[in-house]
Amino acid sequence: MTKISRAQLQRHIRKAAAQTINVTITFHASLRMRERHITNAMLFDVLKGGVIKKEPEPDMRHSGIKCQMERYSAGINIAVIVNVDIPSDGLIVITVYEIT
């Protein structure tokens, strides 16, 4: 796989998240969202408008790249860890948390 830049990954995630059918939320992420009072609207706001500040890394459990999208949404800083498998439009949300 060729090296892909953060900006390219960001664009890919934002484009893919524009259609909710492309986003799969794991059971773990769903539990954490409920526990941390993060709604689906907040999650999609981060995916559609967030930025990647940390260096993406290969996902050891699955194929693809693990990225952390961050954004200030609804009064809190939220981070979403998402698995991206280029060139597929599918995104897998691994976990969601508040950045303190």
pLDDT digits (tens, 9 = 90+) for 56-80: 998 888 788 999 999 999 899 999 9
Identify how many contiguous H helices and E strands the chain contains and give both numbers.
Answer: 3, 6
Average pLDDT over residues 38-63: 93
According to DSSP, residue 18 is labeled: T
Domain harbouring 71, CATH code: 3.30.2310.40
How many domains would you assign to the chain? 1
50 occurs within a structural domain: yes
Asked if residue 31 belongs to a domain, the reply is yes
Helix (H, G, I), strand (E, B) or coil at 89: coil
Residue 12 pLDDT more than 60?
yes
In a domain, 1, yes or no: no
36 in a structural domain: yes
Q: Residue 62: inside a domain, yes or no?
A: yes
Tell me whether residue 76 is in a domain: yes
pTM: 0.90
Domain hosting 12: range is 6-98
